[in-house]
Amino acid sequence: MSKYTIVVCDHIHDAGLNILQNTEDINYVYAADIDKVKLLDIIKNADVAITRSSTDVDEKFLNAATNLKAIIRAGVGYDNVDIDGCSKRGIIAMNVPTANTIAAVELTMAHMLSCLRKFPYAHNQLKEERVWKREDWYGNELYGKKLGVIGFGNIGHRVALRAKAFEMDVITYDPYISSTKATDLGIKYTTNFEDILACDIITIHTPKNKETIDMISFDEIKKMKDGVVLINCARGGLYNEEALVENLKSGKIAMAGIDVFKKEPATSHPLLDLPNVTVTAHLGANTKESQREISIQSANNAIESARGISYPNALNLPIDESKIPAFVKPYIELTQKMAFLLAQISKSQIRAVEVSAEGDLSEYVDSLQTFASVGVLSVSTGLSVNYVNANFIANEKGIDLSTKTITNNSGYKNRVTIKITTANGVKSISGTVFEDNIQRVVKLDDFVLDIEPKGKMIIMKNKDIPGVVGQVGSILAKNNINISDFRLSRGKNDHALAVILIDEKANSKVIEDLDNLEASIAVAYAEI
């Protein structure tokens, strides 16, 4: 039995490892304790990789992982996964979004309480120094303090709820939610960031991206209350670290609770030298409960994706397959085949691809566009193209992609049309699906047709004069090519289109002979 290789790049709970070990068609490699340079050697065999924040899925990793189909980030934040790099290579990236929520929420509360009661310092004085000096440890209470929560997602909103239980006055800033998500829970909502800067304690729970990096820096801290407390259990770099250090030193920031650092592991970070910081080594997700659940979900998702069955919580799929109704699926297949056919007969560099849909199908024109790109690019680039990387590659190659929905006046219930623009002009193809999944090409340029997009075919545009069928037949017979079907369509200006389905491949000499016929206008060979 051929087996899929799943490489586990970071420590995950045994529960998931046991699943991988006990699955017959999985060969799993545990590489968590292996040097990251050596990992590059191991990763080349992986069909699927499971990673956490300790493994950067960067250019080096992806270049080494030549066989990779999918990657599971066994956690929430995927800022260290090069999603564009994955898309470009057709690798599906997934995360495990909710299994560590409670762990991160509770660590945030722990940091908040630790900062207010200076817990680690009080603890060390007694435990390490054996000094009993109660007068050194007057802390503050959460009760009645104003808490600003930046980011009101899975973690942020639960932190806010727990803070309410401590009778804090809680306000949140998250421009991407409806205000009622907060106000329904009795939490104030603001779109004015200054309201957050006016709080006694501020905690951040956003993803790390271009918009959120340095969200709190020198200028923002200047506007804060003297003696503010800052918590970061999300990602290093959301609070500018230099600004944190400087303002902790000056006392503008009374205390900071930090679980995450811009560069990890952070064993010689300036924050570690300060007396008013509580730190943990990125332990937000480190509870046994959360790691067990993440590990199980990661293992199951890795197996499903290795087998190509499903991609739960995919981050870079242009299409959510679960939302595509059954009647659209054959159109997707037809669109890809027709695009493949059209690109073969276009014989010139493609500049633009436009997909239009009629009928109920129009709602899904974006998905059809993606599959048209797959079809076109499979011919024109020689790259391994799938629906994850198709639009990405098209954009990179400067191919203009567009969609159109048109009024249904073709007489067909649903119809899809692909128009390709090349240096030699425009070509178009239309198709529909009849009952029982009968897929048909119904138009090629201006010629009305009825052909199944399947097998080997010669497509010949010719002057509509007598004798052409016989001449074509004799050239093919001379070359031992059997004709299985011959379809003729008459167009305008005394032009006709012949689609000749054949049993054997027609080489370039045969196509040249056909093109040399007096009646010939254009001849192409295509294969689906």
Ligand X SMILES: O=C(O)C(=O)COP(=O)(O)O
Q: Which of 110, 196, 285, 338 binds ligand X (CB under 6 A)?
A: 285
The 10 Å Cβ neighbour count of residue 447 is: 20
CB of 285 to ligand X, least distance (A): 4
Tell me the C-alpha distance between 100 and 123, whole Å: 28
When binding is defined by CB under 6 A, the residue of 53, 87, 301, 403 that contacts ligand X is 53
> Near ligand NAI by CB under 6 A, which window of 150-158, 364-372, 441-449, 465-473?
150-158
- Cα–Cα distance for residue pair 178/305, rounded to 1 Å: 34
Is 158 catalytic? The answer is no
From the candidates 220, 282, 293, 415, which is the catalytic residue?
282
Decide: 420 and 352 in contact? Cβ < 8 Å.
yes
CB-hemisphere CA count at 13 Å for 65? 28
152 binds, among ligand NAI, ligand X, none (CB under 5 to 8 A by kind): ligand NAI
29 binds ligand NAI (CB under 6 A): no
- 282 noted as active-site residue: yes
Candidates 257, 284, 375, 431; binder of ligand X (CB under 6 A) is: 284
Of 349, 364, 363, nearest to 422 by C-alpha is 349
Residue 450, H or E segment: strand 447-451
Which of ligand NAI, ligand X, none sits in contact with 52, Cβ below 5 to 8 A by type? ligand X
Give CA–CA dist 291/99, Å, rounded. 8
Is 277 in contact with 94 (CB distance < 8 Å)? no
77 binds ligand X (CB under 6 A): yes
Cβ nearer to ligand X, comparing 77 with 148: 77
Chain centre distance of CA 78: 10
Does the N-terminal peptide bond of residue 265 adopt cis geometry, omega within 30 degrees of 0? yes
Binding test (CB under 6 A) with ligand X, winner from 19, 57, 61, 75: 75
Any contact of residue 172 with ligand NAI (CB under 6 A)? no
**Least spacing, CB of residue 154 vs ligand NAI, in Å:** 4
CB of 435 to ligand X, least distance (A): 48
| 431 near ligand X, judged by CB under 6 A | no
From the CB of 216, what's the least distance to ligand NAI, in Å? 11
Contact window for ligand NAI (CB under 6 A) among 148-156, 374-382, 480-488, 498-506? 148-156
Q: Give dist(CA 31, CA 15) in Å, integer.
A: 16
Which one of ligand NAI, ligand X, none is in contact with 461 (Cβ closer than 5 to 8 A by kind)? none
Buried/exposed code over 229-263 (b: 16+ C-beta within 10 A; e: otherwise): bbbbbbbbbbbbbebbbebbeeebbbbbbbbbbbe
Q: What is the largest CA-CA distance in the chain?
A: 111
Q: Is 111 a catalytic residue?
A: no
Please report whether residue 331 would count as binding ligand NAI according to CB under 6 A: no
Single residue of 99, 149, 155, 328 touching ligand NAI by CB under 6 A? 155
Which residues make up the interface to ligand X (CB under 6 A)? 52-54, 74-77, 100, 282, 284-285
Active site residues: 235, 264, 282
